[in-house]
Structure 1
Amino acid sequence: MGIDILYILIVIFDILISIWNAYNAGKALEYMKLNNIESDWPRMVAYSTLILSFAGAAYGNASLLSIVAYYLGYIDIYTLLGVLSFSFLVFGFLIILFGIVITVNSIIVASKTKSFFDIFIAIYNSIAVIWDIYTYIEGFSTAFNILKDQFGNEDRNSQGIFVLIIIAAVLIAVFMVYGAFKYGKASVYKVEGLSIQPSPIEG
């Protein structure tokens, strides 16, 4: 049970990091817009951060929803493993793919600034993405087989709940990331505590 609680805390932390990253992506893109920065690389990094935020939030949401559903008795262990495997294969792949872009950018920044903090971030990101790639390769076969068994399951109710959890996780992630993204854009316009257009809530 202790491991379960630790895992849940890590998942919650990852979701919070994803929200923070989405906020920063919105802030960066709006700043570039206001300052007429047309360079492709900064925009690519910002959008990569946004997609990374979505993938991280969706992964975390799917994990939390499936664990809660399992402990409440709504799903069995096989459905739980199916959701976690799907998240690992799909959202995990997105995290690695766009995490590489973020890592490359952090290395570029560190090489230019030479600051201790930027170097630390670059090293941390590099280790994290290498670890993610390693665990993805190592766990791919197991996760794929679990997911294949899930789709091969003739229990339609189990499959239905599986799909509902994934859809719910994605929708919640979209809401979280979009909200944080909009607030990030709006924060660029804050002057002395007063928020000027655009509104973080209205489109």
Structure 2
Amino acid sequence: MCIGLLLDIIFFIIDIIIPIWNSYNSGKISAYRKGLGKLLYTLGGFLPMSYVLSLIIAIVLGILGYISVSTAVFILSFSGLVFGLEIIIWGVIATYLSAVSTVRGRDWKAGLITAYNAFATIFDAWAYISSFFSNLRDARKAIDSSDFSVIDVLIIFVAALGVGFIITYAAYKEGLKSARTRYWY
């Protein structure tokens, strides 16, 4: 197995876990500051999870031959352009929130999450900057291709948003319940 593929799989797994963690922390924050918690849930949990799921769905469907190559290229390029910038901005916020959670909770697991958030944000920023114009060119070429399907793109994005919402909202509610339960006793 190629080391690059193995690293991609590891990053995908970790990039699924981190939005769940951020959604859980956003639920805890919502117990005290509802508006801030919902904002952080949306931008730190829901959208990053949808981003990762759209990439995974596009890759799997592309490998299995259910979508055209140009559709898969467009999804990967578009996701890199739009969600990539969002991931960088909110990665900084997630790193800050994880650091606050680590300091207040004195939990070594939260410290590991903080370290990963910092590393992933730096890695994502480097990848975004180095591939911006390439992604823009690839997205334009994919749209001009004869086998490009807007319907496939919409279905993949709607599926990723739906599944991302279900997963992260469950984590958000658990965080909210955890924060409320702690102060009832």
Please tell me whether residue 162 in structure 1 is matched to residue 163 in structure 2.
no
* Matched position secondary structure for 2:180: coil
Q: Considering only aligned residues, what root-mean-square deviation do their CA atoms show, in Å?
A: 3.3
Structure 1 partner of 2:168: 177
- What CA distance in whole angstroms lies between the structure 1 residues aligned with 2:78 and 2:143? 11
Query: Structure 1 residues 52, 71: closer, same or farther in 2, change over 3 A?
Result: same
Q: Which amino acid in 2 is paired with 1:176?
A: I
Q: Which moved more, 1:98-107 or 1:80-89?
A: 98-107
- Label 1:68 to 1:140 Cα distance change in 2 as closer, same or farther (>3 A): same
Task: Identify the residue that residue 12 of structure 1 maps to in structure 2.
Answer: 13
* Aligned twin of 1:199: none
Unaligned 5+ segments in structure 2 are: none
Partner of 1:201: none
Matched positions, count: 179
* Residue range with higher mean Cα deviation, 12-21 or 122-131: 122-131
Cα gap change, 1:70 to 1:122, in 2 (>3 Å):
closer
Q: Secondary structure at the match of 1:172?
A: helix
1:56-100: CA deviations, max 9, x gaps?
Answer: 211211111112111221123332222111111111111112223
Distance 1:45 1:121, change over 3 A: farther
TM-score (norm 2): 0.77
Question: Could you tell me how far 1:178 is from its partner in structure 2?
Answer: 1.5
Match of 1:136 in 2: 128
Unaligned ranges ≥5, structure 1: 197-203
Equivalent position of 1:186 in the other structure:
177
Distance 1:162 1:4, change over 3 A: farther
Look up the match of 1:24.
25
Q: Is the 8 A contact 1:12 1:60 kept in 2?
A: no
2: distance between equivalents of 1:89 and 1:123? 25
Deviation at 1:136, TM superposition (A): 0.9
Q: Rg: which structure is higher?
A: 1
